[in-house]
């Protein structure tokens, strides 16, 4: 049985004060949650303070991105070595990185390898655009993202997959639980083909794209949906806590 995993993706949001207020409110709201893993991924500028604010709690911290070199003349980039001082997780391959910053499957693959080399856990995002879905090539695209993103890896125990259909991100249009389940089961089958049955069974596959307090429960009821990667609804402590506590709803 895979343990539920609910992750926040703050994207480019929150100042230091806003983050501190969130942390103080959120840690109280979820302090009794012991049957679900909780992760909050924040901008680099907030990693240090979030580490202090959330010390000793049941909340893990992640970064939003990482570069694939350790150090050097890469103005503005942040390495896995630097992130490691503050966080255990990193998001790699988010569709917004792919769309606005030209991240290819090859770049995503390099980032994943570098993060793992430095013992960061990875939330690896994949998902099709509306155009690709309408063309009927969703599985082809997502399959290619998985194969190329994980290429050269032998072990995926430190990787969590986040399936996020691009057309459902920030649009209020959630994939139906059935649509999501179909893709999650496709991804799990592919993981089995690439890494074996045991790895496929153990890997958690999160759904992302307009997850809200009112729809999380029906998504989580599906066999291959093991959690959520939550954008907009994770910015408010109360609404994100309701998603984390989906079992009680």
Cα angle: 197, vertex 36, 33; to 5 degrees: 165
Residue 220 corresponds to which tokens in the numbers above? 């989580």
CA proximity to 13, closest of 57, 38, 45? 45
- Does 165 interact with ligand PGA (rule: CB under 6 A)? no
Pick from 28, 135, 170, 189 the residue near ligand PGA by CB under 6 A: 170
- Cα–Cα distance between 66 and 78 in angstroms, integer? 6
**Out of 149, 208, 213, 227, which residue is the one contacting ligand PGA (CB under 6 A)?**
208
Query: In the complex, what is the shortest distance from the CB of residue 168 to ligand PGA, in angstroms, rounded to a whole number?
Result: 6
Q: Confirm or reject binding of residue 210 to ligand PGA (CB under 6 A).
A: yes
Which residue in 209, 215, 240, 242 binds ligand PGA (CB under 6 A)? 209
CB of 233 to ligand PGA, least distance (A): 6
Stretch that binds ligand PGA, among 64-72, 140-148, 187-195, 203-211 (CB under 6 A): 203-211
Q: How many CB atoms are closer than 10 A to CB 140?
A: 12
164 is catalytic: yes
- Angular region, 102: left φ>0, alpha ψ -120 to 50, beta rest: left
Can you say whether residue 14 is alpha, beta or left, with left for phi > 0 and alpha for psi between -120 and 50 degrees?
left
Element (H, E) at 40: strand 37-42
91 conformational bin, left if phi > 0, alpha if psi -120 to 50, beta if neither? beta
For residue 101, which phi and psi values (nearest 5 degrees)? -120, 15
Answer yes or no whether residue 65 interacts with ligand PGA by CB under 6 A.
no
Catalytic entry in 64, 94, 96, 128: 94
Using Cβ positions, the residue closest to ligand PGA within the complex turns out to be 231
Q: Is 108 in the site for ligand PGA (CB under 6 A)?
A: no
Give whichever of 3 and 99 is closer to ligand PGA, judged by the CB atom.
99
Which entry of 96, 103, 164, 184 is annotated as an active-site residue? 164
In this structure, what are the phi and psi dihedrals at residue 123, rounded to the nearest 5 degrees? -105, 105
The site string for ligand PGA over 211-240 (x = CB under 6 A, - otherwise) reads x-----------------xxxxx-------
Among 97, 88, 87, residue whose Cα is nearest residue 125: 97
94 catalytic per annotation: yes
Does 169 engage in binding with ligand PGA (CB under 6 A)?
Answer: yes
* Positions that interact with ligand PGA (CB under 6 A): 9, 164, 169-170, 208-211, 229-233
Which residues belong to the active site?
A: 94, 164
């Amino acid at each position: 049985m895979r343990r539920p995993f609910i992750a926040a993706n703050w994207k480019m949001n929150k100042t230091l004060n806003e983050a501190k207020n969130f942390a103080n409110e959120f840690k109280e709201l979820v302090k009794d949650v012991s049957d679900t893993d909780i992760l909050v991924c924040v901008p680099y500028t907030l990693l240090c303070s979030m580490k202090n604010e959330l010390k000793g709690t049941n909340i893990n911290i992640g970064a939003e991105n990482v570069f694939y070199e350790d150090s050097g003349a890469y103005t503005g980039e942040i390495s896995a070595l630097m992130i490691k001082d503050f966080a255990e997780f990193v998001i790699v391959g988010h569709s917004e990185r792919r769309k606005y910053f030209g991240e290819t499957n090859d770049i995503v693959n390099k980032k994943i390898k570098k993060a793992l080399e430095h013992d960061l856990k990875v939330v690896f995002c994949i998902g099709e655009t509306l155009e690709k879905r309408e063309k009927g090539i969703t599985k082809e695209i997502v399959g290619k993202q998985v194969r190329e993103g994980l290429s050269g890896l032998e072990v995926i125990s430190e990787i969590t997959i986040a399936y996020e259909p691009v057309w459902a991100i920030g649009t209020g249009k959630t994939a139906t639980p059935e649509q999501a389940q179909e893709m999650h089961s496709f991804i799990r089958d592919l993981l089995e083909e690439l890494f074996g049955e045991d790895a496929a069974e153990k890997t958690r596959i999160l759904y992302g794209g307009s997850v809200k307090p009112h729809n999380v429960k029906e998504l989580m009821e599906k066999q291959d949906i093991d959690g959520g990667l939550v954008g907009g609804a994770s910015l408010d402590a109360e609404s994100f806590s309701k998603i984390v506590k989906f079992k009680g709803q």
